[in-house]
Structure 1
Amino acid sequence: MIDARAAVLLEAGGDPRLSDVTIRPPVDDEVLVRIDAVGICHTDVSVAARWPAKRMPMVFGHEGVGTVVAAGPAARAAEGQQVVLTFASCGRCGDCADGRPAYCDRSTDLNLRGDRRDEASALRLGGEPVTGGFFGQSSFATHALSRPANTVVLTTALAPELAAPLGCSVQTGVGTVLNALSPTPDDVLVVFGAGAVGLSAVMGAKIAGCRAIVAVDPVPERLALATELGATATVDPTAVDVVAAVGDLTGGGPNLAVDSTAIPSVIATAMTVLRSCGTLALVGLGALNAELPVGLILGKGLRVRGVVEGDSDPHTFIPWLADLVRSGELPVDKLVTTFDLSAFDEAWAAAKSGRVIKPVLLTG
Structure 2
Amino acid sequence: MNDTNPSPFKAAVIRQQGGPFRIEAIRHGDLRHDEVLVKIVATGMCHTDMVARDQVYPVPHPIVLGHEGAGTVDAVGADVRKVAPGDHVVLTFLPCGRCRACQEGAPASCENFNAYNFSGQRPDGSHALCDSGGHDLNDRFFGQSSFGAYAIANERNVIKVRKDAPLELLGPLGCGIQTGAGAVLNALKVEAGSSFAAFGAGAVGLSAVMAAVVTGATTIVAIDVVPSRLELARTLGATHVIDSRNENPVEVIRGITGTGVDYSLECTGRADVARSAVEALRPRGVCGIVGASKPGTNLEVDINDVMQKCKVIRGIVEGDSVPDQFIPRLVELYMQGRFPFDKLVRFYSFDEINEAAEDSEKGGTIKPIIRITE
* TM-score of the pair, normalised by structure 1: 0.96
Counterpart secondary structure, 1:198? helix
Aligned to 1:185: 192
Counterpart secondary structure, 1:87? coil
| 8 Å CA contact 2:269, 2:292 repeated in 1 | yes
Counterpart secondary structure, 2:101? helix
| 8 Å CA contact 2:181, 2:211 repeated in 1 | yes
Q: Deviations over 1:144-185 (max 9, x none)?
A: 000111100113332123211100011110110011111222
Q: Deviations over 1:261-292 (max 9, x none)?
A: 12111111111111111110000102432223
**Structure 1: which amino acid aligns with 2:344?**
L
Aligned to 1:354: 363
**Structure 1: which amino acid aligns with 2:43?**
V
Return closer, same or farther for 1:54/1:203 CA change in 2, 3 Å cut-off: closer
Gaps of 5+ in 2: none
Aligned to 1:127: 134
C-alpha separation between the residues in 2 aligned to 1:117 and 1:324?
35
Aligned to 2:90: 84
Pairing partner for 1:30 from 32, 35, 40: 35
Aligned to 1:64: 69
Aligned to 2:115: 109
C-alpha separation between the residues in 2 aligned to 1:116 and 1:66?
22
Return closer, same or farther for 1:81/1:309 CA change in 2, 3 Å cut-off: same
Residue 352 of structure 1 and its aligned partner are, at CA, apart by: 2.5
C-alpha separation between the residues in 1 aligned to 2:30 and 2:42?
20
Q: Which is further off, 165-174 or 118-127?
A: 118-127
Return closer, same or farther for 1:44/1:237 CA change in 2, 3 Å cut-off: same
**Structure 2: which amino acid aligns with 1:303?**
V
Aligned to 1:204: 211
Aligned to 1:195: 202
Q: Which is further off, 147-156 or 83-92?
A: 147-156
- RMSD (Å), alpha carbons: 1.7
Matched, 1:307 2:316: yes
Counterpart secondary structure, 1:28? coil
Matched, 1:321 2:330: yes
Q: Which is further off, 262-271 or 58-67?
A: 262-271
C-alpha separation between the residues in 2 aligned to 1:23 and 1:310?
31
| 8 Å CA contact 2:80, 2:155 repeated in 1 | yes
Counterpart secondary structure, 2:84? coil
Map 1:261-272; keep pairs closer than 5 Å: 261-272=268-279
Counterpart secondary structure, 2:364? coil
Aligned to 1:41: 46
| 8 Å CA contact 1:117, 1:130 repeated in 2 | no
Gaps of 5+ in 1: none
Pairing partner for 1:174 from 176, 181, 190: 181
Q: Which is further off, 214-223 or 263-272?
A: 263-272
Return closer, same or farther for 1:314/1:278 CA change in 2, 3 Å cut-off: same
Matched, 1:98 2:107: no
| 8 Å CA contact 1:116, 1:131 repeated in 2 | no
Q: Deviations over 1:186-207 (max 9, x none)?
A: 2100110000000000011000
Residue 132 of structure 1 and its aligned partner are, at CA, apart by: 0.2
Residue 143 of structure 1 and its aligned partner are, at CA, apart by: 0.4
Aligned to 2:286: 279
Pairing partner for 1:291 from 274, 289, 300: 300
Residue 16 of structure 1 and its aligned partner are, at CA, apart by: 1.9
**Structure 2: which amino acid aligns with 1:254?**
V
Q: Deviations over 1:124-158 (max 9, x none)?
A: 11211100000000001110000111100113332
Q: Deviations over 1:65-101 (max 9, x none)?
A: 0001111111231100011000001111221111100
| 8 Å CA contact 1:196, 1:357 repeated in 2 | yes
Q: How many residues align?
A: 364
Return closer, same or farther for 1:51/1:212 CA change in 2, 3 Å cut-off: closer
C-alpha separation between the residues in 1 aligned to 2:263 and 2:76?
44
| 8 Å CA contact 1:202, 1:215 repeated in 2 | yes
**Structure 2: which amino acid aligns with 1:299?**
Q
C-alpha separation between the residues in 2 aligned to 1:289 and 1:193?
19
Map 1:123-272; keep pairs closer than 5 Å: 123-125=129-131, 126-272=133-279
Counterpart secondary structure, 1:277? strand
Residue 15 of structure 1 and its aligned partner are, at CA, apart by: 2.1
